């Protein structure tokens, strides 16, 4: 069931991105950009956006630009994450990383172009959302991606290598590196749905918890997962001396932590009743996933 949902949503977002790029002027970077974003990855952030949209009865055409923009930022972060100056990974999503296929310079430029494409997608005239909401969405996407979000989290991740860090420092780093984009996924749906400041704050925090849960499973997959299913080499965190919750507290406590976090997230969703069933299923998948 969940696999089918993920595939369907990924296809919708890929179709949108292909058509969006087709309507722009050609450039040499379209090929490495498409390589880094189309037909690859679970596009789980888009599924989270559609699931959250269901809670507020939002039409998919109000959400598809947000999905595409989020996937641009996500794929951009992965292209840059794989570079030799970052995590130096030569395989991603079962194929050579973008810099292996196209060279480092093109990978840096394709990644940066995906970043700016995200903002073109939100501000596009054909996206029928009012300017005030677009402004709020852009502001949130920028702050979730930059030094107070993904980029800042990545810097901490690199600085924490081979250092003994406290649990709260690791949680803070992972909430930035991975959680902030999930934060944006839920927050932006709240903006489209005209929610109050308090409700949007609630959605942001919920998103960040979902992101932390996602990262925890990612750390487990690196330790105990299958290279074939994940599409990239495993057991790299230990070699690189990465600071993770799993390493700090061990498998048993980390599993407990994950289960408690999942329960906390599901409790927060109770007030939305059956409308949140899609999001509930996705959250179950996030903890149990093998890819
Ligand atoms: C400012 C966006 C930006 C990037 C520059 C390189 C970098 C800073 C950040 C990297 C952040 C990073 C790699 C976080 C890890 C997040 C994570 C768990 C990725 C795996 O996500 P999946 O499983 O990937 O959703 P797929 O392949 O399915 O899309």
**DSSP helix/strand/coil, 265:** helix
Pocket test for ligand 1, best of 14, 48, 80, 170 (most atoms within 8 A of CB): 80
Reply yes or no on whether the pLDDT at 4 is more than 90. Answer: yes
* Burial tier of 67 (Cβ tally within 10 Å: 0-12, 13-18, 19+): buried
Tell how far the Cα of 81 is from the centroid of ligand 1, in angstroms. Answer: 7
Residues 6+ apart with CB under 8 A from 29: 106, 109, 110, 113
pLDDT digits (tens, 9 = 90+) for 216-251: 999 999 999 999 999 999 999 999 999 999 999 999
Residue 40, pLDDT above cutoff 90: no
Q: Are 20 and 68 in contact (CB under 8 A)?
A: yes
Q: What is the mean pLDDT of the chain?
A: 98
Mean per-residue pLDDT, 196-213: 98
Q: Show the tokens assigned to 71.
A: 């996937």
Sign of CA dihedral 49, 50, 51, 53: positive
Ligand 1: centre distance to CA 89 (Å) = 12
Antiparallel, parallel or unpaired: β 95-96 and 91-92: antiparallel
pLDDT bracket for residue 49 (50, 70, 90): very high
Joined together, the tokens standing for residue 281 give: 């299923």
The pLDDT, as a whole number, for residue 154 is: 98
Confidence tier at 39 by pLDDT (50, 70, 90): confident
Residue 47 DSSP symbol? H
Ligand 1 neighbour 150 (Cβ under 6 A): yes
| Alpha-carbon torsion angle 216, 219, 220, 225, nearest 10 | 140
CB neighbourhood size of 178 (10 A): 26
Cα–ligand 1 centroid distance for 75 (angstroms): 7
The Cα–Cα gap between 104 and 147 comes to 23
Q: How far apart are CA 60 and CA 12, in angstroms?
A: 10
> What mean pLDDT comes out for the span 138-156?
98
Q: Assess whether the C-beta atom of 93 lies below 6 angstroms from ligand 1.
A: yes
CA 80 – ligand 1 centroid, Å: 9
Q: What is the mean pLDDT of residues 128-137?
A: 97
Query: Considering the entire predicted model, what is its pTM?
Result: 0.97
Which residue from 9, 36, 73, 77 has its CB within 8 A of the most atoms of ligand 1, so it is best to mutate? Answer: 77
- Cα–Cα dist 54/63, whole Å: 11
| Ligand 1 atom with minimal separation from the 73 CA | 2
Residue nearest to atom 28 of ligand 1 (CA): 41
What mean pLDDT is predicted for residues 16-31?
Answer: 98
- Determine the pLDDT at residue 157: 98
Q: Taking residues 205-219, what's their average pLDDT?
A: 98
What 3 state SS string does 91-118 have? EECCEECHHHHHCHHHHHHHHHHHHHHH
**77 CA distance to ligand 1 middle (Å):** 5
Atom of ligand 1 nearest to the CA of 75: 29
Q: 200, 212, 180: which is closest to 70 by C-alpha?
A: 180
Give per-residue burial for 218-239: e unless 16+ CB within 10 Å, then b: bbbbbbebeeeebebebeebee
CB 154 near ligand 1, within 6 Å: yes
Q: Is 67 in the pocket of ligand 1 (CB under 6 A)?
A: no
CA-only gyration radius of the chain, Å: 18
């Amino acid at each position: 069931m969940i696999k089918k949902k993920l595939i369907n949503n990924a296809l919708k977002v890929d179709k949108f991105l292909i058509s969006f790029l087709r309507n722009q002027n050609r450039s040499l970077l379209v090929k490495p950009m498409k390589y880094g974003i189309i037909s690859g990855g679970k596009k789980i952030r888009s599924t989270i956006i559609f699931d959250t949209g269901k809670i507020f009865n939002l039409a998919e055409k109000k959400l598809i630009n947000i999905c595409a923009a989020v996937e641009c930022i996500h794929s951009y972060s992965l292209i840059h994450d794989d570079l030799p100056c970052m995590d130096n990974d030569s395989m991603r999503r079962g194929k050579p990383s973008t810099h292996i296929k196209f060279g480092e310079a093109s990978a840096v430029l394709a990644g940066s172009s995906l970043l700016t494409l995200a903002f073109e997608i939100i501000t596009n005239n054909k996206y029928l959302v009012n300017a005030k909401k677009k402004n709020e969405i852009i502001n949130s996407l920028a702050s979730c991606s930059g030094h107070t979000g993904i980029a800042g989290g990545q810097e901490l991740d690199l600085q924490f290598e081979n250092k003994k860090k406290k649990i709260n420092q690791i949680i803070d780093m992972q909430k930035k590196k991975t959680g902030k984009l999930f934060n944006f996924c839920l927050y932006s749906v709240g903006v489209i749905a005209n929610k109050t400041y308090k409700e949007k704050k609630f959605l942001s925090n919920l998103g960040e918890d979902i992101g932390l849960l996602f990262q925890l499973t990612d750390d487990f997959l690196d330790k105990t997962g299958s290279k074939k299913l994940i599409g990239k080499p495993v057991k790299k965190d230990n070699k690189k001396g990465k600071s993770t919750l799993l390493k700090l507290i061990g498998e048993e406590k980390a599993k407990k932590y994950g289960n408690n976090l999942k329960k906390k997230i599901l409790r927060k969703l109770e007030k939305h009743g059956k409308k949140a069933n899609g999001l509930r299923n996705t959250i179950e998948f996030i903890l149990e996933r093998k890819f």
